[in-house]
Structure 1
Amino acid sequence: MEKTIKQLKNTTGRRSFLRTGLAAGGAGAIGAGLLTNGLPAFATEKNNGVTKGDVAILRFLAAVEILESDLWQQYNELGGIQDSEVPGGSGNKPYTAALATLDEDMDQYIHDNTEDEISHFTFLNAYLVSKGADPVNLDKFRTLQGSQATGAQKNKRRLTNLMQLTVDTSWWTRYRSRTKNPDIDHPSFPQAIPDLSKGKFPAIPRNDHDLKPQDHIQAIANTAAFHFGFIEQGGTSLYPSLAQRVTNSEVLRILLSIGPTETQHFQTWQDKAGNAPPLTDPTNGLRFPNLNAPPFGGEDFQTNLIMPEPTIFLNRKFPVCSIIRPTETEGAAMGAVNALTADGLFIGQSKEFFATLKDLATQADNAQRSS
C-alpha cells in the first residue's frame, strides 16, 4: 500500500492538491490560481471527457477506500490471514477463534475484503493520475494508536479507531422491510443490537486484557461482525448513489464495476452477523439478543436471510422490488462522512482531518451529470 502511494506521488511530483493542499489545511490552503469552481484547474473536460465533477467523485471514493483499507488492515492483522497479499500483523488466536464462532472461514473473508479495498483505492488513484489529477494521500492523518494486543502492529499509526465504536445496526432491519424504503419516506428502522448504538465498544481487542473472559472476547467479535455489515452496506449504497452524478462513460463503468463488489461484501457480512451468539458481556453489560426471537424472528427476520426483501421503490404505485437501499444521490457523499463519523471511526482525529474529508464530500456532492 505504502509503496503504491509512493509511486503515485513520484508520478505527480509537481502537483500537490491533496498532498500539500488539503493535507495542509483544506481547500483554503490551495492557491486561488489552481482552482476552478473548487476543483483543480487541470481537471477539465478536456481530459478524455472526464469532467471536474467526475474527478471530484473519484477523489472522494479514493479517500473512502483508503479509510476502509486502514480499518480492514487492522481487522486482518488480528483476525484475518496475514500473507504477501495483505501483509502486516501476526494474528491473535483468541480473537480469531471468537470470529470463527460466527463462521470457520471468517479469517479468509476478512483477508479478501481487505485485499479488495486496497485494490480499489490503488486503482482509483492510478486512474486519477492517468487523467492528470492528483492521487489522494491521507498519510498526514495517520496519527491514531491502534490495538496493543498480541498480533497487531503496535507501533503503526492509523487513520481509523476501532476501539470506541457506536455501531448503527439498523441496516439489519432496513433490508428486511417490505413496506419501508429510506429513499421514499425516510422512516427510522429498529436497531438489531440496541446496545451497540448507545455506547462505545471495541471491535478488536485493545490489549491482551481483552482476551478474556470468553464472553468478553466473543462480544468484541460479535461487535466486529455487525460493524463489518455497517461498513460494507455504506459502500453498497454509495457507489450507485454517486454514479447518478457521473458524466464520463468510463468513469461510470468504474463505479458500476467496483460498487457490486461492495454489495458482495455486505451480503457476506449480513450472513455472518446472523450467527453472532446471544450473550451479555460481563465487563460492560453489552447485550447481544437472540435475533430469531421477538421482537424480531419470523419469516422476514430469520437470521439466514441474506438477500434484500422486496420493498417499495421510486413510487408506491409500483409493485415492490428487491433493491439496494438507499440510493438517493442528493447529499450522498456527506451522508457517508456523517455516518462514519457517528460510528466513532474517527475519534481522536484532528479538525484538519474532518475539514479535509468534508471538503472532498462537498465537491463530490456538487458534481452534476452533464448531458
Structure 2
Amino acid sequence: MQQQANAFAKSASRRSILRAGLVGPGLIGAGLLTNALPSRSFARDTELTEGDIAILRFLCALEIIETDLWQQYNELGGIPDAEVPGGSGSSLYQGALNNIDNDMSQYIHDNTDDEFSHFTFLNAYLESKNAAPVNLDKFRTLPSSRATGAQQIGRLTNLMLLTIDTSWWTRYRSSTLNPDFGDTFAQAVPGLSNGQFPAIPRSDADLQPTNHIQAIANTAAFHFGTIEQGGSSLYPSLAQRVSNVEVLRILLSIGPTETMHFQVWHDKAGNAKPITDPTNGLTFPNLGVAGISEDLQANLIMPEPTIFLNRRFPPCSIIRPTETKGAAMGAVRALSADGLFIGQSPGFFTLLHQLANEADEARREV
C-alpha cells in the first residue's frame, strides 16, 4: 500500500508540474534524449566558419535585393501601411492584380514584410558574431516607376524591363525530368521569355487600355513565382555547405518560408487572365482550359514526384533543383537574366559575384 501511495504521489506531482506549464512531455523526452545520447552532431558550435559567414552574407544580399523588388510591388499593388511603409497604391493596378485573385494585394504585402524580416535578421545575426553585415545602399541608383503611388527613391532592381523564365511551371509538373540531371523545360508563357516587359506600371500611361494593365499584372503574377521558386531551391542547396548547426537551423527555418511563398504564387499565376496585350502582342494562354496538357494544367500545383539523386530510385516529390555546386552563382545568373539589374553599375555586379563565389567556395566542416 505504501508503495502504491508513493507511486501515486510521484504521478500526481508530475501531473501538477505539467499543468503548471513548467515541463512539457516533449521537453521531458528531449531531456532524456539529450542525457542518453550526447553527440557532437547535436552540439551548438560557438564559432562560425568563414564558409558559414560567406553563405549568410550572400543570402542576406539576396534578401535585400528581394526586399527591394517586393517593396516596389507593395507600393503600387499591395497594401502600404505602418508594417510595410512606402507608397500609396495604384487602384487600377491593384484592381488588375485582384482580377487574378481577390487577396493578391494582401499576399504582396505579407511577402514584402517577410523579406524585410529575413535580411534584418541575417544582418543582426552576422553582427552578433562579429561578422560584417551587408549594406547595398550605395547601389540604390535605379529609377522608380513614375506611376502615381510609387515613392521616388533609388532602387536596386528594375521591374520595368523583365524577361521572365516560366519553365518552373512545367518543371514542377514533370514526372521524369529534374534540372539537377541537366534536364530543361518548356515555358508556360513563352512570350515572357522573348522580350522585355513591365511588371509594374511605368507611369500612369500604362494604366490603360484595360488589357495592357492586366497584362502587366499577369506578368507580375508569374514573376512572383519565378522569384520565390528560386529561394525555395537556394536555401537547401546552400544548407549542404554550412558547418555550424545554428547556421544550418537558420537556413532550414528561413528556406521553407520561401517555399510557402512559392506555393501561393504558383497557385495564383494559374488564374492569370488569358489575354493579349494590345500594345506589344504579349499573349497569356488559358492554363485553366479543359483538356490542356498536364505539363501546363493550372491546378496541378503540388510538386510531381520525379527522379532524385539517381535514376534507379523511385520518383519522389521534391524541391528542384537542390544541387549545391555553383548554386549561389547560378542564382545570380538567373536574376541577371531576368532583367532585374538592367542599369546597375559594374561595382554592383562585382560585389554580387564576389559574394556568390565566396558562398560557393564554402565547404562543410564536420
Q: Same fold (TM over 0.5)?
A: yes
Is this contact kept in 1: 2:64–2:119, CA < 8 A? yes
1:1-371 alignment, distance < 5 Å:
48-153=46-151, 155-184=152-181, 186-292=182-288, 297-371=292-366
Is this contact kept in 2: 1:79–1:110, CA < 8 A? yes
**Secondary structure of 1:287's partner?**
coil
Q: Which amino acid aligns with 1:189?
A: F
Is this contact kept in 2: 1:292–1:298, CA < 8 A? no
Task: Please give the alpha-carbon distance, in whole angstroms, between the structure 1 residues aligned to 2:203 and 2:102.
Answer: 24
Task: Please give the alpha-carbon distance, in whole angstroms, between the structure 1 residues aligned to 2:100 and 2:256.
Answer: 24
Q: Which amino acid aligns with 1:352?
A: G
Q: Any unmatched runs of 5+ in structure 2?
A: 1-44
Q: Which has the higher helix share?
A: 2
Is this contact kept in 2: 1:81–1:111, CA < 8 A? yes
Measure how far apart 1:48 and its partner are. 1.8
Task: Please give the alpha-carbon distance, in whole angstroms, between the structure 2 residues aligned to 1:300 and 1:70.
Answer: 32
Task: Please give the alpha-carbon distance, in whole angstroms, between the structure 1 residues aligned to 2:256 and 2:198.
Answer: 29
TM-score w.r.t. the length of structure 2 is 0.87
Is this contact kept in 1: 2:77–2:105, CA < 8 A? yes
Task: Please give the alpha-carbon distance, in whole angstroms, between the structure 1 residues aligned to 2:274 and 2:215.
Answer: 9
Q: Which amino acid aligns with 1:209?
A: A
Is this contact kept in 1: 2:143–2:155, CA < 8 A? yes
Task: Please give the alpha-carbon distance, in whole angstroms, between the structure 1 residues aligned to 2:207 and 2:236.
Answer: 40
Task: Please give the alpha-carbon distance, in whole angstroms, between the structure 2 residues aligned to 1:167 and 1:302.
Answer: 19
Is this contact kept in 1: 2:270–2:288, CA < 8 A? no
Task: Please give the alpha-carbon distance, in whole angstroms, between the structure 2 residues aligned to 1:136 and 1:176.
Answer: 37
Task: Please give the alpha-carbon distance, in whole angstroms, between the structure 2 residues aligned to 1:257 and 1:48.
Answer: 19
Measure how far apart 1:291 and its partner are. 1.9
Q: Any unmatched runs of 5+ in structure 1?
A: 1-46
Taking only the aligned residue pairs, the percentage that are identical comes to 73
Task: Please give the alpha-carbon distance, in whole angstroms, between the structure 2 residues aligned to 1:355 and 1:299.
Answer: 42
Task: Please give the alpha-carbon distance, in whole angstroms, between the structure 1 residues aligned to 2:297 and 2:179.
Answer: 22
Task: Please give the alpha-carbon distance, in whole angstroms, between the structure 1 residues aligned to 2:319 and 2:292.
Answer: 22
- Once the two structures are superposed, what CA deviation does each residue of 1:26-45 show, in whole Å capped at 9, x if it has no partner? xxxxxxxxxxxxxxxxxxxx
**Secondary structure of 1:279's partner?**
coil
Measure how far apart 1:293 and its partner are. 5.1
Task: Please give the alpha-carbon distance, in whole angstroms, between the structure 1 residues aligned to 2:232 and 2:164.
Answer: 17
Measure how far apart 1:299 and its partner are. 4.2
Task: Please give the alpha-carbon distance, in whole angstroms, between the structure 1 residues aligned to 2:166 and 2:348.
Answer: 26
Q: Who wins on radius of gyration, i.e. which is larger?
A: 2
- Root mean square deviation, CA, Å: 1.3
Measure how far apart 1:307 and its partner are. 1.2
Equivalent in the alignment of 2:25 = none
Equivalent in the alignment of 2:8 = none
Equivalent in the alignment of 2:3 = none
- Once the two structures are superposed, what CA deviation does each residue of 1:261-290 show, in whole Å capped at 9, x if it has no partner? 000000000000000011110000101111
- Once the two structures are superposed, what CA deviation does each residue of 1:170-198 show, in whole Å capped at 9, x if it has no partner? 000000000001112x1110000001001
Task: Please give the alpha-carbon distance, in whole angstroms, between the structure 1 residues aligned to 2:46 and 2:123.
Answer: 17
Is this contact kept in 2: 1:166–1:196, CA < 8 A? yes
Is this contact kept in 1: 2:60–2:118, CA < 8 A? yes
Task: Please give the alpha-carbon distance, in whole angstroms, between the structure 2 residues aligned to 1:113 and 1:98.
Answer: 19
Q: Which amino acid aligns with 1:271?
A: D
Task: Please give the alpha-carbon distance, in whole angstroms, between the structure 1 residues aligned to 2:300 and 2:66.
Answer: 25
Measure how far apart 1:134 and its partner are. 1.2
